[in-house]
Amino acid sequence: MKPKNPAALEVVKLVCRVLDDKKASAINILDVGQQSSITDYLVLATATSEPHLRALRIEVEKVLDAQRVHLVGMEAAQESGWVVIDAFDVMIHLFLPEVRDRYGLERLWRDATELTVAKILQVSAEKRRPNRRPAPARPKKPAKKSAKKRR
């Protein structure tokens, strides 16, 4: 097995944040480093439609490009319902629901360790806002009545 690249987990966090922001559903992260010699993580997500699938692909590409993550390849056959983005240590699979059910990558990689998206996003959010306390709640002010002048 190849040694894990610590930057790979940062790529996973970026991708998960984008997918979550763009309303992808059923986001799963599988740590396949012990089972695979070619990648460390699989990120799986579901889109609601072909246009949503394209939008997710575009947004993931943008964020990876902005962070200068080298993309090894991409497979996005028109109307296949499945997009694969290979960022070497992280492979991103975006599906339409019926295609995801048909191929069942979670079943194929059932020996992998599943990471929780909530924890990944929470850790990432805490890193971005260190030592910030929530603002104290302000009491609501009563609504002012408008004083209209009548002529």
Flag whether 61 is in a domain.
yes
Look at residue 121 in the predicted model and tell me its pLDDT: 77
Flag whether 83 is in a domain.
yes
Say if residues 93 and 46 touch (Cβ distance below 8 Å).
no
Flag whether 132 is in a domain.
no
Q: What is the pLDDT of residues 27-55, one digit of tens each?
A: 999 999 888 888 999 999 999 999 999 99
Flag whether 18 is in a domain.
yes
H helices, E strands: number in the chain: 5, 6
Say if residues 77 and 54 touch (Cβ distance below 8 Å).
no
pLDDT-derived band at 145, boundaries 50, 70, 90: low
Look at residue 98 in the predicted model and tell me its pLDDT: 95
Tally the domains of the chain: 1
Look at residue 19 in the predicted model and tell me its pLDDT: 95
Which domain, by its residues, includes 69? Answer: 6-120
Residue 103: CATH number of its domain = 3.30.460.10
Q: What is the pLDDT of residues 121-137, one digit of tens each?
A: 775 555 544 444 455 55
Distance between CA atoms of residues 66 and 15, nearest Å:
12
Flag whether 90 is in a domain.
yes
